[in-house]
Amino acid sequence: MGKEDFIRVDNISKSFGNQTVLSNLSLSIPREGIFGIMGLSGCGKTTLLNIIIGFWQPEAGTVYYNGLNIREHQRVMNQLFGFATQAGSVYPKLTVEENLRYFARLYNMKRNDITIRIGEVLNLMELEASRHVLAEELSTGMYRRLDIACSMIHNPKVLILDEPTGNLDPVLRKKLMALIKRIDDSGTKVIITSHLLGEIEKICDTLAIIHHGKILEIGSPDQLKDKYTRDQIIKIETKKKNYDVLIPILKKAGGKNIFQKDRYVYIYTRETDKILITILSYIKTKGDQLLSVEVNKPSIEEVFEAATRK
Amino acid sequence: MMALFKKASSIEVKTESINQNFFVERPPINPAIKLFYTVMKNLKLLIRSKFSALIFLFGPLIIITLVALAFNTSTLFDLNIATYSSSYSPLSNSIIENLSDSQYNILKIESEEECIDAVKSSDFQVCVIFPPDMLLDNSANNIVKIYVDNSRINIANLISSQISTKVSVEASALSSDLVTQILTVLDSSNTKTVETQATITKILSSNIGAQESTSSLSSTLEGIDLSYDSLDTTELTSEINSLKTEYNVTDSDISSMTSLISSLESDYAALGAKIDTGKESITTAGTSSTSITSSLNSQESQLKEANTQLQEISETINAIAITNVASIVSPIKTTVEPISAINSYLLYILPTILVLLIMLVSLLQSASSIITEKESRAYFRNFITPTNEFLFMTGEFVSNFIILVLQTSILIAVLYYFFSDTLTGQAFALTGLCLLVIGSFFILLGMLFGYIFNTKSTVTLATISAAMIMLFFSNAILPLETLSSYTRNIVQYNPFIISELLLKKILLFGATFSGITEPLYLLLGFSFAVLVGAILARSFSKKYFNTG
């Protein structure tokens, strides 16, 4: 285990029935910064998070927190982790304060501490005005903030947010992301999953790409981009769309990662000029017509797509 | 925020071998505090779900009040009876009149077929067919046919039993008249026999008196001495002759004297003849007296024999032990009598109603609260807190139990309103206790279903199905006697039946606590088994809980 390993996941496997969700997955989460996990729906993100907090037991492998097996210290871990699920884990028929007070009690907090902590959390989440409002009467954004507040009521060391921006409009997403940043600034380690890669890229210090139950890439957004931006990405569309013939020609010309998506062909290459000449030559030879052509550095989404297509 | 954590850390227990900068653990708080918060949370969820609160709190009150008002009677109302006879007789009309005097509506129908059809169409509950010219004599075949709709099995037996009772009451009255007549004759004969015996006794007494008189007469007659000697005048003649010589009495005087003596001798002879005749008469009278005595002796024997026979007749009549007409007419009565002195249909059906009510409410309420909790997603957050899982189960149970206590209080209050005169305080207390035990079992069973199933619809279906199965295999719809003995042996452990038995013992038979311990402990045993099942089901449901 490296010095920076805060949470380490070692070769965990998890299946549900005949379906293997995680297979020998290993991951190291550093102590500092927001850690993001990206992956397609059903790739095992939520399962991984549930195993990290000790809710589910893997068939194989171990999760360590600060070098300690979390299964062997589950009661302590329960107090150290906060978890906000995709759907939200609050009681709609309880008020904001009642929800917080109830969960605080379950986290062994004392009455005086609870009162102080509720004030702090409500202030942080900007929910003071809604203290006595039933959770079911809150707006979607407030409901989400209450869920995070409940996850933080016991002042956890690690806050895990599973798709926190799901179902939120762009404005609320932006506000929530800012809030998550503030939580991180307050000293709580944040682990977040999201399928909105553009947003996760903005706040995460480290990103892991999970696909088919395995970690494909891990690193800072810049590291990941650097890894992929040595290549440029060329996106073309031809009139005849005879890509089965074109792609082998481009591979011979130095295209590293070439694939078709919808009407376009994407080519990752470090020899952009050579590829473009080859394309023009192909068009001329075959009597085809080039409808569009773009040359870019890949975004994090493209990094993700490229990584998951490997 | 960090300040708070630092403040808290002063009272936190630092765990050995754990980095003290991060691994701090709050000391566990009293589980009772967590339990209190869990229960309060559950109750708030229930109360704030207004429909649930309405159903679970006021449902039992409304149901039991309606049932109590509807069934708190000992009579059947608006029973329509169709009757038919090709020829009504005074006897059949009398029976009909008797039925009319009760609460029944009677209508005479034109034909037997129409009468039976009237029952089939449910216009009438009973069709009673009387034989033509029904009367009581030795040749009469007085069979009254009663037709009921056996598909309405719950009321068919009741009605047929009641009508049979009414008809047999009428028949009994008629039989009583006949037997009364016979008994009156017998009684009269007995009286006259006794009187005759008295007369005979008098005759016997007279007879004996006559016999004694005859004997006395005979003795008297025998005692009369009528013997006499013949008259000897020789000495007298000699004396006269001597006097004649001595006193020189003339011959004429002597002749005169001799004549007188001759006259005397003649009179004497006549007297002797009369005496002889008298003697002969006395002899004849004595013979007759002997004959009379003999005859009287013979009569005395005969009278004694007659008297003995009369005595035997009288003793035979007196030896009849049962002289009560009703006892002779119906030596074995078949009237349906309640096994309890309670005079209300409500109390008879109350054990079933109460168990049904508690079963449905507790089952659905607990299953519903569990599934609501599971579907709320907040269920998940409970799992990841440092709280013993059993505490949540306990919280669920206690929350439901509090509702059960409220419901039981309402039920007991309604029962008290209707039966405060009939039931004792102990019966109310035991009923309350048993309802809590019964409700606890069904709460745990509902929790088991709640943990096993994952949606409201499936859990509702499962709980209702379970309730229906328990209901069907009980006495509530069909008697258990309709089941095979093998099935019955299994079904007797149906919690519904055990619960019903508990309440019947208390409400109908006035059982004390010692009288209900066996089914009570059995139910508690079942509750424990279901609790274990619920714990396993909860662990299983956690394993497959989906947070995504």
Asked whether the beta carbons of residue A162 and residue B45 sit closer than 8 angstroms, the reply is no
Residue B16: is its pLDDT beyond 50?
Answer: no
Q: Which residue in the set A79, A108, A186 is minimally distant from B1, CB to CB?
A: A186
pLDDT reading at B162 higher than 70: no
Is A226-309 assigned to CATH 3.40.50.970?
no
Give the span between the Cα atoms of A270 and A282, in whole angstroms. 19
Distance from CA of B33 to the nearest CA of A (A): 8
Distances B424 to A5, A105, B421, B435, B513 between C-alpha atoms, Å: 74, 45, 8, 17, 13
CB contact under 8 A, B385 and A106: yes
The predicted structure's pLDDT at residue B204? 81
Per-residue pLDDT, B345: 65
Contact A90 B382 (CB under 8 A): no
- pLDDT above 90 as % of chain B: 12
CB contact (8 A) between residue B37 and residue A55: no
**By the 8 A CB rule, do A155 and B8 touch?**
yes
Q: What pLDDT shows up at residue B471?
A: 87
DSSP 8-state symbol, B58: I
For residue B6, the model assigns a pLDDT of 37
* pLDDT at residue B443 in the model: 95
- Count of beta carbons in the 10 Å neighbourhood of residue B72: 14
Q: Which of A73, A91, A187 is closest, CB to CB, to B376?
A: A91
Among candidates B364, B357, B356, B339, which has minimal Cα distance to B474?
A: B356
Between chains, do B380 and A85 touch, taking CB under 8 Å as contact?
Answer: yes
pLDDT digits (tens, 9 = 90+) for B316-366: 877 776 666 666 665 444 333 444 455 566 777 888 889 998 998 899 989
pLDDT score of B167: 67
Which residue in B41, B44, B384, B539 has the most chain A C-beta atoms within 10 A of its own C-beta, making it the best mutation to test that interface? Answer: B384
Give the pLDDT band (50/70/90) at residue A131. very high
Give me the mean pLDDT over the B512-536 stretch: 92
pLDDT surpasses 90 at B397: yes
Fold of B79-149: Alpha-D-Glucose-1,6-Bisphosphate; Chain A, domain 3 (3.40.120)
- A50 to chain B, minimum CA–CA distance in Å? 8
Listed residue (B506, B348, B366) closest to B434, CA to CA: B506
CB of B406 within 8 A of CB of B55?
A: no
Contacts 24+ apart (CB under 8 A), A174-177: A175/A141, A176/A141, A176/A144, A176/A145, A177/A202, A177/A203
Provide the pLDDT for residue B57.
67
- pTM recorded for the entire structure: 0.64
Nearest to A113 among B4, B37, B385 (CB): B4
Domain span(s) for CATH 3.30.70.980 in chain A: 226-309
In this predicted structure, which of A65-74, A107-116, B40-49, B52-61 has the lowest mean pLDDT? B52-61
Share of chain A above pLDDT 90, in %: 25
Residues in chain A within 8 Å Cβ distance of B15: 73, 76
Please enumerate in sequence order all residues whose Cβ is within 8 A of that of B301, keeping only pairs 6 or more positions apart, or say none.
Answer: none
- Give the whole-angstrom CA distance, residue A180 versus residue A84: 12
B134 pLDDT more than 90: no
Average pLDDT of the segment spanning B59-76: 65
**In chain B, domain spans:** 39-70+344-543, 79-149, 178-326
Distance from CA of A218 to the nearest CA of B (A): 23
- Asked if ipTM goes beyond 0.85, one says no
Measured between CB atoms, which of A78, A157, A187 is closest to B384? A78
Question: What integer pLDDT is reported at residue B170 of this predicted model?
Answer: 66
Q: List, for residues A255-285, the tens digit of each pLDDT value.
A: 878 888 889 998 888 888 889 999 999 999 9
Contact assignment for B26 to A108 by CB distance below 8 Å: yes
Question: Residue B317: helix, strand or coil by DSSP?
Answer: helix
Taking residue B387's Cβ as centre, other Cβ atoms within 10 Å add up to 24
Phi, psi dihedrals of residue B104, rounded to the nearest 5°: -90, 145
Condensed to tens digits (0 to 9), the pLDDT of residues B489-510 reads: 888 899 999 999 899 888 887 8
- For chain B, list residues whose CB is within 8 angstroms of any CB belonging to chain A: 1-2, 4-5, 7-8, 11, 15, 17-19, 22-29, 33-34, 37-38, 41, 44-45, 48-49, 376-387, 543-545, 547-548
Give B375→chain A minimum CA distance, Å.
10
* Measured distance CA(B34)–CA(B41) in Å, rounded: 10
Residues B130, B322: Cα–Cα separation, whole Å: 32
Name chain B contacts of A89, Cβ cutoff 8 Å. 377-381
Closest CA to A53 of A121, A110, A112, A7: A7
Question: In the structure encoding, which two tokens stand for residue B542, read together?
Answer: 């956690």
Map chain A to HEC letters: CCCCEEEEEEEEEEEECCEEEEEEEEEEEECCCCEEEEECCCCCHHHHHHHHCCCCCCCEEEEEECCEEHHHHHHHHHHHEEEECCCCCCCCCCEHHHHHHHHHHHCCCCHHHHHHHHHHHHHHHCCHHHCCCEHHHCCHHHHHHHHHHHHHCCCCCEEEEECCCCCCCHHHHHHHHHHHHHHHHCCCEEEEEECCHHHHHHHCCEEEEEECCEEEEEECHHHHHHHHHCCEEEEEEECCCCHHHHHHHHHHCCCCEEEEECCEEEEEECCHHHHHHHHHHHHHHHCCCEEEEEEECCCHHHHHHHHHHC
Using the predicted structure, report yes or no on whether residue B20 has a pLDDT greater than 60: no
Residues of A in contact with B547 (CB under 8 A): 46, 50, 55, 85-87, 162
Q: Which residue of B has its CA nearest to A88?
A: B377
Q: Choose the mutation target among A15, A108, A161 for the interface with B, i.e. most B CBs under 10 Å.
A: A108
A/B interface, count of CB pairs below 8 Å: 128
Residue B339 contacts residue B347 (beta carbons within 8 Å): no
Task: Select from A14, A43, A33 the least CA-distant residue to A194.
Answer: A43
Helix, strand, coil percent values for chain B (each to nearest 5): 70, 5, 25
Of A14-23, B17-26, B147-156, B396-405, the one with minimum mean pLDDT is B17-26
- Which option is the CATH number for A5-219: 3.60.20.30, 3.40.50.300, 3.40.50.1980, 3.40.605.10? 3.40.50.300
List b or e across B179-194, with b for residues whose CB sees 16 or more CB atoms inside 10 angstroms. beeeeeeeeeebeebe
The 3 state secondary structure assigned to B377-424 is CHHHHHHCCCCCHHHHHHHHHHHHHHHHHHHHHHHHHHHHHHHCCCCC
CB B386 to CB A108 under 8 A? Answer: yes
Is pLDDT of A252 > 90? no
A109-129 CB burial, b ≥16 within 10 A, e <16 = bbeebbeebbebbbebbebee
- Subunit contact B48:A93, Cβ cutoff 8 A: yes
Average pLDDT over residues B122-141: 74
What is residue A134's predicted lDDT score, i.e. its pLDDT? Answer: 93
Contact A307/A209 with Cβ under 8 angstroms? yes
CB contact under 8 A, A93 and B380: no
Q: Closest to A89 (Cβ–Cβ): which among B38, B44, B380?
A: B380
Look at B458 and A239; give whichever has higher pLDDT.
A239
The encoded tokens of residue A285 equal 């030879």
